[in-house]
Amino acid sequence: MSQRGKDLELVKITKRYGDTIAVNAVSHHFKPATYACLLGPSGCGKSSTLRMIAGHETVSDGSILLDGQDISRLPPAHRGTAMMFQNYALFPHLSVAENVAFSLKMKGEDKRNRLAKAGDMLELVDLSALAERFPHQLSGGQQQRVALARALITRPQVLLLDEPLSALDPFLRVRMRSELKRLQRELGISFLHVTHGQDEAMALADEIVVMNDAVIEQAGSARDVFNRPDTAFVAQFLGGHNVIDLADGRFALRSDAVSLTDAGTGKMEARIMAVEYQGTHVSVSARVAGNQDLMALVPDAVFFQNVKNPGDAVGLTWEQEKLHRLTQ
């Protein structure tokens, strides 16, 4: 049941709510059959962007093209997109199979056809055995699979997912994460997944699109965005980096690139503020001149060769090429 993916293009889309500009002239080209994550802090405009693509929110300015066709003024059901909501929005009085088949009923398909298609979708998400149950008889993870099947039954070219994993416990979240990725690959369509979790985005995304303050701050593969953040915001939001101001500019420096040395022998002198044991690594926070705190992520075995404690004076050092220049 593989479907060929289509490319989705946002051309200067803007969303205004009264005086609030939630999305400010955002342009982006999502390649076909990509798992893309829209990542950013609360209020940066991720959901508004997704809802405009889905057609649940009007576009104040700009256009949305799917496979070259302007879909920005079409009703949601005619766009070739489908949305899976955060709270799943299942109908409590309908069985699992009827929930999944619901949109086909609205389209007037006959019962036999709709139940057959719903059966295929339930198989896809591994829920065939629970077709006759009602939503309240399902676990959170199972409800989510129903919501997925219900969105996929419309055969969308782009599946839009708004914080799809946020209601699940951490264990299930990781399991559903790989499930989503598997489905995306198997179907060969694009998934556009909104999250504020950088771990989630890095684990899933072929492409991470980082939003901040109503605009896209940076987009690229997880590895590129992590290793070559453009701005201090991206470096800090993705985590694992220090942002340091040096005489010749502002730089990102990965915490695992910082080593501790004896006082007087490093590139910077510092005083240890906190030490946290994290299993494979020890995270050491150290204050340098100007009250900047730098984080060093030291491998467990290395740290315990020469244990340091809060209050100790140390040197911090790194290889020069590990400094990554930031544009702002």
Ligand X SMILES: Nc1ncnc2c1ncn2[C@@H]1O[C@H](COP(=O)(O)OP(=O)(O)OP(=O)(O)O)[C@@H](O)[C@H]1O
Residues in contact with ligand X, total (CB under 6 A)?
A: 12
Among 13, 34, 35, 47, binds ligand X (CB under 6 A): 47
Q: Which is nearer to ligand X, 19 or 321 (CB)?
A: 19
Which residue do the tokens 């940066």 mark?
44
| CB-CB contact of 318 with 258 (8 Å) | yes
Q: Which is nearer to ligand X, 85 or 102 (CB)?
A: 85
Residue 174 burial (C-beta neighbours within 10 Å; 0-12, 13-18, 19+): middle
Q: Which is nearer to ligand X, 159 or 298 (CB)?
A: 159
Q: Which is nearer to ligand X, 43 or 119 (CB)?
A: 43
**Counting contacts by CB under 6 A, is residue 58 touching ligand X?**
no
Q: At its nearest, how many Å lie between ligand X and the CB of residue 192?
A: 13
On the CB side of 195, CA atoms within 13 Å amount to 26
Q: Which is nearer to ligand X, 38 or 257 (CB)?
A: 38
Question: Which of 72, 67, 63, 82 shows the shortest CA–CA distance to 6?
Answer: 67
DSSP string, 16-76: EETTEEEEEEEEEEEPTT-EEEEE--TTSSHHHHHHHHHTSS--SEEEEEETTEE-TTS-G
Spell out, one character per residue from 173 to 202, where the chain touches ligand X: x when CB under 6 A holds, - when not. -----------------------x------
Q: At its nearest, how many Å lie between ligand X and the CB of residue 44?
A: 4
Which residues, 6 or more positions from 200, have their beta carbon under 8 angstroms from its beta carbon?
37, 165, 173, 177
Q: At its nearest, how many Å lie between ligand X and the CB of residue 214?
A: 7
Cα-Cα-Cα-Cα torsion 166, 143, 77, 190, nearest 10 degrees, comes to 60
Among 2, 3, 20, 278, binds ligand X (CB under 6 A): 20
Q: Which is nearer to ligand X, 20 or 27 (CB)?
A: 20
**Counting contacts by CB under 6 A, is residue 43 touching ligand X?**
yes
Mapped onto helix, strand or coil, the DSSP state of residue 162 is: strand
Q: Which is nearer to ligand X, 167 or 288 (CB)?
A: 167
CB-CB neighbours of 251 under 10 Å? 18
Among 6, 46, 114, 254, binds ligand X (CB under 6 A): 46
CB-CB neighbours of 61 under 10 Å? 14
**Counting contacts by CB under 6 A, is residue 305 touching ligand X?**
no
Q: At its nearest, how many Å lie between ligand X and the CB of residue 53?
A: 12
Q: At its nearest, how many Å lie between ligand X and the CB of residue 209?
A: 12
Among 5, 37, 39, 48, binds ligand X (CB under 6 A): 48
Angle at 141 between CA 135 and CA 142, to 5 degrees: 40
Q: In which element (H, E) is residue 130 found?
A: none
**Counting contacts by CB under 6 A, is residue 22 touching ligand X?**
yes
**Counting contacts by CB under 6 A, is residue 328 touching ligand X?**
no
Query: In 164-280, where do the E strands start and end?
Result: 190-195, 207-212, 215-220, 241-246, 249-254, 259-262, 268-277
Q: Which is nearer to ligand X, 128 or 166 (CB)?
A: 166
What residues make contact with ligand X under the rule CB under 6 A? 17, 20, 22, 40, 42-48, 196
